[in-house]
Amino acid sequence: MLRFTDGTYDELKGASKQATGTCDAAPLRNSAKAMRKELNYNLDARILQDVISPEQGGLFVAFVHGKHYDGKTLLTIDPHGAHGVYPEEISLETYDEGKRGIWSAFHYSAEYAKGTASSSGKNAVVHIEHQQLETEIDKSGRLQGKAVISMVARVPGVRAVPLALFASLRVSSVTGQSGEALNFVQENKQEDPEFWVILSKAMAKDERFNITVHYGGSDAIQSEGSGNYYPVARNNWYPNFASGEFGEYTTYDMTFRIPKRMTMVATGNLVSDTNDGNHNVTVWKAEPPITVAGFNFGTFKKEDTKLEKPPMEVASFANSDPPDWVNRVKQNSSTAGTYFGGPVGGTGQALCSMNTTSLNKKALGEAQFSLAVYSEYFGALPFKNLAMTQQTATNYGQSWPMLVYLPMSYLLDETTRHYLGMSEAYGYFTVVAPHEVAHQWWGHDVGFNSYRDQWMSEGFAEMSASLYIQYVYSKEPQRFTKFWND
């Protein structure tokens, strides 16, 4: 089964005889189902992108019903980057449930011959230069958003623009820069995590234009109770670059409206913080350009300090009350494994409060010392502030520009963690905060061009954490050795 917008038809027509009989449409239906249900990609919209452009398309996709290895093999050639391996144009993958994965991905052979093949290539159809985001979140976690997106065309003839948006956030309208209503494509949320905007005219290469998108929905943010919220959609709670999670640097102006008496923390510099009726309204500005925008909010208690070297404002935020599921764990300790991943032990008295604010200053101190150590080694950051924030997830941390998400378990005391079956495996709780702070350098200040380079940001963050251990525990050198042995 072949689907294409390049010159394949002319090649086949010139090299074969005309077929007779009826055409079986089942392979077309099966290929469409495979893309939507199994590969979660809207190939029809990608083909439309080339069909409505005045330029010649270059897409070629072959669904190979293989006999030797697997009946679900896919070869993709896309000049704008094959799905999942941007910016590389060619990929070979299998999508059988038991044999799923990308086997090979690479650039055009002509690029290797000329020595121009590079992961730093930018072959997406547009680059997003600026986002102006207005976001309102109610007590249930439902989000309503408006995004004014400023873009520049990277190739001639752009009429269909792909954007990433969390699947349950449904677009209600899109308008162009003159206010004209634009068509858009957004399929069932189970089948297509992107949406495509159809421009009113084809754009010339390097032409700048704006679109305005209104969207909203539930599930992108989970209300965990007692003023705790979990942002599920970390990088696509707004219409974002479709070809990759990071790698594109963009400036942001953001306004958030959240329920009164709650605190918003976001990527950027806080411009204003006011109350409007039953809402807290904050305005944020992110300059210089950053790789992704994000936020965290809740009934936070704040600890903060100012560093002289490097000159930065550092703050730590923990929720005043634990999420509702903590009460369920207290009442039935057998449910702890659902949230903490292991069996509980010891005495139930350890779960009396599960309060996280008592260790808020620990997060602040570790951020403060990490920034001091890393700045000596790697130079100052372009950012002037950093926020360490509690998230209700207990099994991972994450770092966005100027914003760190810390697992709730990190802010529990050792006795409580021991009762919950959370051991200090591989020194995790010792280094999770300094590791995530290190990503301000490795992953954000110093980005990566493609998925082939992304692993290095983790490697440098781990190396940075070892420097932190070496300085903080200078009288216990065995900790440094143990870290690297682990």
Q: 122-171: per-residue pLDDT in tens?
A: 899 999 999 999 999 999 999 999 999 999 999 999 999 999 999 999 99
Which tokens is 59 given?
Answer: 């897409």
Query: At residue 353, what are phi and psi to the nearest 5 degrees?
Result: -120, -40
What are the domain boundaries of the chain? 2-114, 126-290, 300-485
- CATH H-level superfamily of 126-290: tricorn interacting facor f3 domain (2.60.40.1730)
Residue 347 pLDDT: 47
**How do 228-231 and 221-225 pair as beta strands?**
antiparallel
Judged by DSSP in three states, 430 sits in helix
8 Å CB contact between 411 and 317: no
**Alpha-carbon gap, residue 149 to 331, rounded angstroms:** 48
Residue 418 pLDDT: 74
Residue 348 pLDDT: 53
Burial tier of 112 (Cβ tally within 10 Å: 0-12, 13-18, 19+): exposed
**How do 126-137 and 250-259 pair as beta strands?**
parallel
Same CATH fold assignment for domains 126-290 and 300-485: no
Residue ranges in the chain whose pLDDT is less than 70: 243-247, 331-353, 423-426
pLDDT, tens digit (0-9, with 9 covering 90-100), for 165-179: 999 999 999 999 999
8 Å CB contact between 215 and 195: no
CATH number of the 300-485 domain: 1.10.390.10
Which residues neighbour 486 within 8 Å (Cβ) at sequence distance 6 or greater?
Answer: 426, 427
Residue 333 pLDDT: 61
Q: In the 8-state DSSP scheme, what is residue 150?
A: E
Residue 68 pLDDT: 86
Residue 328 pLDDT: 77
Residue 477 pLDDT: 93
Residue 351 pLDDT: 58
Burial tier of 13 (Cβ tally within 10 Å: 0-12, 13-18, 19+): exposed
Which tokens is 80 given?
Answer: 């704008």
Chain centre to alpha carbon of residue 368? 26
